[in-house]
Chains A and B, each alone.
Chain A
Amino acid sequence: MPANRFNGHTDYGIGIGLRSPHYHHILTRKPVVDWFEIISENFMIDGGRPLRILDQILEQYKVVQHGVSMYFGSAERPNREHLKRLKTLVQRTKTPWLSDHLCWGSVDGRYTHDLLPMPYTFEAARITAQKVREVRDYIEIPVAVENVSSYAEFHVSEMTEWEFLNEVAERADCGILLDVNNIYVSSQNHSFDPFTYVNSVPAERVAQIHIAGHSKYRKYILDTHDHPVIDPVWKLYARAIERVGHTATLLEWDDSIPSFDEVHDEALKANRFLASASLATAV
């Protein structure tokens, strides 16, 4: 199931997030990396050094775009300027698919720059799916929605988070970027079984998987992307791979970023699970 219509029928392996502290290392040492994920918004600009570096990266590596502010779940219509810039970047990177979060973060033209949780209602699923379709139709490549970490649940919710994710994905006919760290974080914050979540996701829609580290506080866990991946998250990842097969996997490390090699080595730990998935497929 690695190559499917939600990831542009690609067969990508293990990637890492492209982050500025690593630019020099990547451009001078040219390490072997399957692919890089970029934060779209960092490159939705008119010119300058970031785009020059991106072009240099594109000469040698495969790049996939990941957004943080499309806010599929915001009640307002997509921002036209955002869409135009996103499409310009898509044409530059030739990303085979594009992902952003199943969340909201803006209302009445004001942006919180956060990934705010959705109320799991049928109305929200309908509005979100409509927006995903609009974005996909405009940028003309497959779109995958990513489950977010959350710290709050709403009284108005009519279903579980995974039911909501499935409802949106079905209605929009879109892919899923399954973030197993986010599932773990939310399961601890909301006291549900993370394996129930992973087992409920339609495997055929999973375009990509995210893994990451987080920070544990006394009463909740915060999704900080500043630590190695912990064992319970690897176990969830193993289960996800068991279900969906060898799928493009990306390690997110966004704060207190260590050396390139440390980040890459952490990401490559996913290989032990991917290898067994490949073996299972072969058998």
Chain B
Amino acid sequence: MKLLSLQRRMARAVMTPLTRSERMRPVAPDGRSMRAVANQIIKPNDRLTSFDRLEIYNRQYWFRVLSAFAEDFPGVRAVLGGQRFDALAKAYLIACPSQSFTLRNLGSRLVAWLEKHPAWAGERQNLAVDMARLEWADIEAFDGLREPSLKSEDLAGVNPAKLRLKLQPYVSLLALRYPVDDLLLEVRKDSDDLDVASNTFNERHKRKRVSAVAKLKPSPIFIAVHRLNEDVYFRRVEREEFAILSALHAGKSLNAAVESVLRHSPIAPADRAAHVEKWFHTWSALGWFCQPRKDVVIFHTKTESFEKARNYE
């Protein structure tokens, strides 16, 4: 048997889902006899059959990927409960096995998959999707690239009509239906407590908190997931901030982004410039913008650039 053929057979067997009691299935879902597969490729020894030996790898595979997945999505687990989460995790990993050399990317397709397969999350699908989006953004923020940040001197003489600001790769903008940021922080706080007695209390507390959040009427919240001093933060932003940042992220110029968003804003025209200035100050202080490429900006004076922003009221 050629190497590629053997590896395909073994990988297929190793990635076959386990039984409920976490053993290798005698028959794979596609009708293959796992015993026959094992006998074909693996030698038995004096203690273990070919099936037993293949099973060691089959179980190791599932224990490893399931535990890595659960570690990345404690919030989704809290939302769905242990049993439903375990079923979802298996279904997801069967549909979306790892395509990356690192387990870090195991959950990269969860949000898209969950949106397509709502049945796995039951009545709490929207809440679970929101939580999955937040937890994936958290992973991205944790080790995403930080480019050189925009400094005030970079804006000297820049024409805001031409200025295109790029968000740092580690910043994710999320429009969510539930306040899952607070919930995730609570879930993590509970998980940090290793005391068994407290954990029993925490489990009850967590279930109550999740139920309370699930009962909330969906109401949009806007979050920027970002990193500061290598810690990840969930920062709630106003609707207009979110829209401007999203427009910038989509490649609009600063002027166009501000203008298009504020045109329909309920913020009183007289207050808009102050808002924009305050937001921009905060975003810059948090280092959310990358240094602009010199070839896509036109330089004017710093004062003019802020004046231009004000003129879009």
Binding site for B on A (CB under 8 A): 41, 44-52, 69-70, 73-76, 79, 81-82, 104, 106-114, 116, 119, 121, 123-124, 127, 151-156, 189-191, 219-220, 222
Inter-chain contact B57/A47, CB cutoff 8 Å: no
With beta carbons under 8 angstroms apart, the residue of B14, B102, B104, B146 that contacts A112 is B14
Interface contacts (Cβ under 8 Å), in number, total 127
Interface residue B145 (Cβ < 8 Å from any Cβ of A): yes
Interface string of B38-76 (1 = CB under 8 A from A): 001111011110101110110011001100100000000
Q: What chain B residues lie within 8 Å of A48 (beta carbons)?
A: 142-144, 146, 170, 227, 230
Inter-chain contact B2/A155, CB cutoff 8 Å: no
Binding site for A on B (CB under 8 A): 1-4, 6-8, 10-11, 14-15, 40-43, 45-48, 50, 52-54, 56-57, 60-61, 64-65, 68, 97-104, 142-146, 169-170, 227, 230-231
Q: What chain B residues lie within 8 Å of A191 (beta carbons)?
A: 45-46
With beta carbons under 8 angstroms apart, the residue of B3, B100, B103 that contacts A121 is B3
With both beta carbons as reference points, the residue of chain A lying nearest to B98 in the complex is identified as A111
- Bound CA–CA A79/B105 (angstroms): 15
With both beta carbons as reference points, the residue of chain B lying nearest to A53 in the complex is identified as B230
With both beta carbons as reference points, the residue of chain B lying nearest to A119 in the complex is identified as B6
- Bound CA–CA A81/B104 (angstroms): 15
With beta carbons under 8 angstroms apart, the residue of A44, A124, A220 that contacts B56 is A220
Q: What chain B residues lie within 8 Å of A104 (beta carbons)?
A: 7
Inter-chain contact A82/B43, CB cutoff 8 Å: no
With both beta carbons as reference points, the residue of chain B lying nearest to A68 in the complex is identified as B101
Inter-chain contact B14/A116, CB cutoff 8 Å: yes
With beta carbons under 8 angstroms apart, the residue of B3, B53, B143 that contacts A45 is B143
Inter-chain contact B65/A47, CB cutoff 8 Å: no
Most B CB within 10 A of own CB, among A47, A110, A156: A47
- Bound CA–CA A178/B261 (angstroms): 62
Q: What chain B residues lie within 8 Å of A51 (beta carbons)?
A: 143
With both beta carbons as reference points, the residue of chain B lying nearest to A156 in the complex is identified as B1
Q: Given the known A-B contacts A151-B56, A152-B54, A220-B47, are A52 and B230 also in contact in the complex, defined by CB atoms under 8 Å?
A: yes
Given contacts A46-B144, A46-B146, A106-B101, 8 further A-B contacts (CB under 8 A): A47-B144, A48-B227, A75-B3, A109-B99, A112-B98, A113-B64, A152-B54, A219-B52
Q: Given the known A-B contacts A123-B2, A151-B53, A154-B41, are A114 and B61 also in contact in the complex, defined by CB atoms under 8 Å?
A: yes
- Bound CA–CA A56/B157 (angstroms): 38
Q: What chain B residues lie within 8 Å of A189 (beta carbons)?
A: 45
Inter-chain contact B102/A44, CB cutoff 8 Å: yes
Inter-chain contact B230/A110, CB cutoff 8 Å: no
With both beta carbons as reference points, the residue of chain A lying nearest to B39 in the complex is identified as A155
Inter-chain contact A116/B57, CB cutoff 8 Å: yes
With both beta carbons as reference points, the residue of chain A lying nearest to B97 in the complex is identified as A110
Inter-chain contact B48/A220, CB cutoff 8 Å: yes
Minimum CB–CB distance from B63 to chain A (whole Å) comes to 10
Inter-chain contact B142/A49, CB cutoff 8 Å: yes
- Of the A-B pairs whose beta carbons lie under 8 Å apart in the complex, a sample of 30, sorted by A's number, is A44-B101, A46-B143, A46-B169, A47-B143, A48-B143, A48-B230, A107-B7, A110-B97, A110-B99, A111-B100, A112-B14, A112-B15, A113-B61, A113-B98, A116-B7, A119-B1, A121-B3, A123-B3, A151-B53, A152-B50, A152-B54, A152-B56, A153-B53, A154-B6, A155-B40, A156-B6, A191-B45, A219-B47, A219-B52, A220-B47
Inter-chain contact B48/A50, CB cutoff 8 Å: no
Q: What chain A residues lie within 8 Å of B103 (beta carbons)?
A: 113
Minimum CB–CB distance from A185 to chain B (whole Å) comes to 12
- Bound CA–CA A162/B97 (angstroms): 33
- Bound CA–CA A79/B101 (angstroms): 8
Q: What chain B residues lie within 8 Å of A107 (beta carbons)?
A: 4, 7-8, 11
Q: What chain B residues lie within 8 Å of A49 (beta carbons)?
A: 142-143, 230-231
Q: Given the known A-B contacts A41-B102, A47-B170, A114-B64, are A151 and B6 also in contact in the complex, defined by CB atoms under 8 Å?
A: no
Q: What chain A residues lie within 8 Å of B50 (beta carbons)?
A: 152
- Bound CA–CA A31/B68 (angstroms): 31
- Bound CA–CA A222/B11 (angstroms): 20
- Shortest 5 CB-CB distances between A and B: which pairs? A46-B145, A48-B143, A75-B4, A49-B230, A45-B143
Inter-chain contact A152/B42, CB cutoff 8 Å: yes
Inter-chain contact A114/B60, CB cutoff 8 Å: yes
With both beta carbons as reference points, the residue of chain A lying nearest to B68 in the complex is identified as A113
Q: What chain A residues lie within 8 Å of B6 (beta carbons)?
A: 119, 154, 156
Most B CB within 10 A of own CB, among A48, A123, A155: A48
- Bound CA–CA A220/B101 (angstroms): 28
Minimum CB–CB distance from B102 to chain A (whole Å) comes to 5
- Bound CA–CA A75/B4 (angstroms): 5
Q: What chain A residues lie within 8 Å of B65 (beta carbons)?
A: 113
Q: Given the known A-B contacts A121-B3, A152-B42, A152-B56, are A111 and B14 also in contact in the complex, defined by CB atoms under 8 Å?
A: no
Q: What chain A residues lie within 8 Å of B102 (beta carbons)?
A: 41, 44, 69
With both beta carbons as reference points, the residue of chain B lying nearest to A75 in the complex is identified as B4
- Bound CA–CA A106/B146 (angstroms): 31
Minimum CB–CB distance from A275 to chain B (whole Å) comes to 38
Inter-chain contact A110/B144, CB cutoff 8 Å: no
Most B CB within 10 A of own CB, among A81, A219, A222: A219
- Bound CA–CA A261/B104 (angstroms): 29
Q: What chain B residues lie within 8 Å of A75 (beta carbons)?
A: 3-4, 7
